[in-house]
Amino acid sequence: MKSSIALSALAALVAVSGAASAAENPYVLDSNKAYVKDSYKQCVRTGYWTPALAEQFECDGDIAAKSKVVLAADTLFNLNSAALKADGRNMLNELVARMAGLKVEVVMATGYADRLGPAAFNQKLSEKRAESVKTYLVKQGVPADKVQTEGKGTADPVVTCADGADVVACLAPNRRAVIEVVGTRAQ
């Protein structure tokens, strides 16, 4: 018997120095310390989320119990660059490994840029970031005809920052890609 599994991977292209400690909760909590969930009833993740860290918390356990698996990868891009950094490649490798045994129906890679620079440049850069993720996934064995890309420029920023000396570092979380993988797996 087959069941449909949606693998939604948020590849938040977050520039953080080092990994979060095991004590840090990789999920967004509200003022009552309850998990914040999106419109799909999935827990909202911070930039510190990793599959290994998530195993220590109950939020993904609830998703797995409902036959849905949510994966994430932190992939870093430098300012004005679409080249994946080593940390990003490692996280995408982990994503591909977790996709093993899945009959992929579609993979959607959506790239984003921060607000610095002209809108036309940022749109093109976001498209290049999505294509960079696609190229890497294809090299790792994901069928090219199953991967679609889209660039959304500066839409849906993760953070807003005041102009100043540290604005480039502050806006780093907006330089990201969102990857959604949908497929089926035999149970």
Alpha helices in the chain (DSSP H): 51-54, 59-65, 86-98, 119-139, 167-170
Q: Which residue has the higher pLDDT, 60 or 150?
A: 150
In angstroms, the Cα distances linking 142 to 95, 102, 124, 155 are: 11, 10, 24, 27
What average pLDDT does this structure show over 96-111?
A: 83
What average pLDDT does this structure show over 174-183?
A: 83
pLDDT band at 37 (very low <50, low <70, confident <90, very high): confident
Domain that holds residue 83: 2-186
- Give Cα 71 distance to the centre of its chain: 8
* Percent share of the chain, pLDDT over 70: 72
Residues 175 and 187: their CA atoms lie apart, in Å, by 37
Per-residue model confidence (pLDDT) at position 118: 97
Q: Looking at the 3D structure of the chain, how many domains does it have?
A: 1
Per-residue model confidence (pLDDT) at position 7: 40
Please report, for the domain that includes residue 127, its CATH number.
3.30.1330.60
Structure tokens at 28: 């967004």
